[in-house]
Copies of this chain bind each other. A is one copy, B any other.
Amino acid sequence: MALTTSWTKLRHLLTLQKHTRNIIVVASRHCNNTSQPTTIQQVDEEVAKLLDLKAQLGDEPTPKTVLKTPKGTRDYSPKQMAIREGVFKVIVDCFKRHGAETIDTPVFELKETLTGKYGEDSKLIYDLQDQGGELLSLRYDLTVPFARYVAMNKIAKIKRYHIAKVYRRDNPAMTRGRYREFYQCDFDIAGQYDPMIPDAECIKIVYEILDNLKLGNFVIKVNHRLILDGLFEVCGVPKDKFRTVCSSVDKLDKTFWEDVRGEMIDDKGLDPISADKIGEYVQLNGSSELVEKLLKDEQLVQSKAAKEGLEGMKLLIQYCDIFGVKDRVRFDMSLARGLDYYTGVIYEAVLEGAELVKSNSKSKEQIGVGSVAGGGRYDGLVGMFAAKGKKVPCVGVSIGIERLFSIMEAKMERGNQEVRTVETEVLVASAQPNMLEERLRLCKELWDAGIKAEISYKANPKMLDQYQYAEKAVIPFLAVIGEQELKDGVVTLRDTKTREETPVPRADLVSTIKQKCCSNSI
């Protein structure tokens, strides 16, 4: 500490002397007066002394560790954790209501497990340093580890949820809830089942979660990879360009059609006639009536894939109707989803408060948060791991918890809502000195009876401090003891809000608190 101060002063003095010398030199030049070398010499002598002092002090101390979390990550404060846990509870309750089990997998996988699963996004995977042994990477999502788990354990069917952090070396946009370390909440159904039944349940789940979180209107966009494939086929896209054209279409939520068209023609060498045909289709969206219309589109249904996809979409919307969620579901032919592994239905939920506006010719600017859930069917992924390529069809959904959390946090801040970060029911307090042991004894009684209790860690805390602590932490009661209470065999129970004080016989304290806290929480 003393050393650091000396260094700071020294640096400051040296800079000052340098300035002084410069001023003298410049001044003497302007005056055409060269007979002032003494002043300069004096300054130089001062500098020499300072440099000598510097040498005596030794090396400049190394600066303190940079105090920050890694780029794109953050800490969660107790208040943020309380909000986050509230959101998690809504999600987990929903998953459990639908009969899901839960599993956990390691945060890193063998590098080869992730290889070839994410297409262009593979460059965003975090690798661990080779410290001898296996080559490892941090998981990029929960879907690939799930598929690895299913294949490794030779599971034929499972309905599981998994809530855990995933890692992407993406450009963080933290104000919009986009981080390099973020939670995913995944629900997946694996198994050979009849068409669209599990798929519709996934949509029902997204609906229930967004509805329960009360974040305003939302729409669940749905599409089908087979419809996209069929559409490309009839528009004359060569088969080897399906995937790359698909990833151009995927940009339509952030880019305008004219730019996507340009990319298809200029970058991907697509025939402009094909591109324009695609353009007509991908701008369509609607519900069952659009499916019916397309099923009558003679050009489109020439493709077996498109026909199959449309029949599936018809069934899906029918089940969504039974589940009471049809009015939130929009069949949107521009929805493509980035990942390679989808093979059937794909979906994405968007909050309607988060619409897109045109900001410049290149891109749409997103107001708010946008996509908050997404998923689809991936029937081939498990087979990529399984010993004999044995396929286990899967469909699932991932809830974008960080974005939901950002919205909830902003909402609570706007509403000035108090968030409790502790659940303490009673603060054991005393106004008198030398009551520490008595406070500890009483607190022990409460803990052992299952009551959430705290005490001040000071031997002789001030009563005012204890009152203020209880108020700040929203602890509903104080159990106050002093000489008189001990003599009378009572505890003074003080209601933090009303400041009402009641003497309660020590033997009745636990039951009284339990009763009061129970009625309080109703």
Chain A positions within 8 Å of B, measured between CB atoms, are: 1, 64-71, 73-78, 81, 84-85, 96-110, 112-113, 115, 126-131, 133-134, 136, 138, 148-149, 151-153, 158, 160, 165, 167, 169, 181, 189, 191, 193-194, 197-198, 200, 204, 208, 319, 322-324, 384-385, 387-389, 421-424, 436-437, 440-441, 444, 447-448, 450-455, 457-459, 473
Contact = CB atoms under 8 A, between A and B. Distances in A.
B66 A110 contact: yes
Nearest to A69: B106
B322 A106 contact: no
A301 to B, nearest CB: 24
Nearest to A459: B194
A134 B322 contact: no
A171 B282 CA distance: 55
Most chain B beta-carbon contacts within 10 A, residue among A130, A153, A193, A322: A322
Nearest to A164: B165
Contact of A128 (B64, B71, B81, B127): B127
Contacts of A148: 67
A168 to B, nearest CB: 12
A70 B165 contact: no
A162 to B, nearest CB: 9
A389 B101 CA distance: 48
B107 A457 contact: no
A444 B322 contact: yes
A165 B107 contact: yes
A452 B127 contact: no
Given A128-B127, A208-B447, A322-B441, A101 B422 contact: yes
B422 A99 contact: yes
A75 B97 contact: no
Contacts of A129: 126-130
B440 A323 contact: yes
A253 to B, nearest CB: 28
Nearest to A181: B106
Given A65-B113, A75-B149, A107-B107, A97 B457 contact: no
B67 A99 contact: no
A395 to B, nearest CB: 10
Contacts of A66: 110, 112
A70 B448 contact: no
B441 A68 contact: no
A493 B71 CA distance: 56
Contact of A101 (B421, B450, B453): B421
Given A197-B457, A322-B440, A459-B197, A75 B104 contact: yes
A455 to B, nearest CB: 8
Contacts of A134: 70-71
A520 to B, nearest CB: 16
Contact of A444 (B107, B198, B324, B473): B324
Nearest to A101: B78
B99 A452 contact: yes
A131 to B, nearest CB: 6
A217 to B, nearest CB: 19
Nearest to A84: B104
Contacts of A97: 447, 450-453
A73 B97 CA distance: 30
A102 to B, nearest CB: 5
Given A107-B165, A457-B198, A458-B193, A78 B102 contact: yes
Contacts of A130: 129
A70 B133 CA distance: 10
B457 A110 contact: no
Given A66-B112, A99-B424, A165-B107, A444 B204 contact: yes
Contacts of A454: 98-99
A109 B71 contact: no
A22 to B, nearest CB: 33
A389 B61 CA distance: 14
A67 B127 contact: no
Contact of A319 (B78, B208, B387, B440): B440
B457 A194 contact: yes
A217 B266 CA distance: 74
Nearest to A447: B97
Nearest to A318: B437
A167 to B, nearest CB: 8
Contacts of A74: 106
Contacts of A384: 65
B458 A194 contact: yes
A127 B102 CA distance: 29
20 contacts: A65-B110, A69-B109, A70-B134, A76-B103, A78-B101, A81-B101, A98-B452, A99-B422, A99-B452, A99-B473, A100-B422, A107-B165, A107-B181, A127-B131, A128-B129, A131-B169, A194-B436, A198-B457, A322-B437, A324-B444
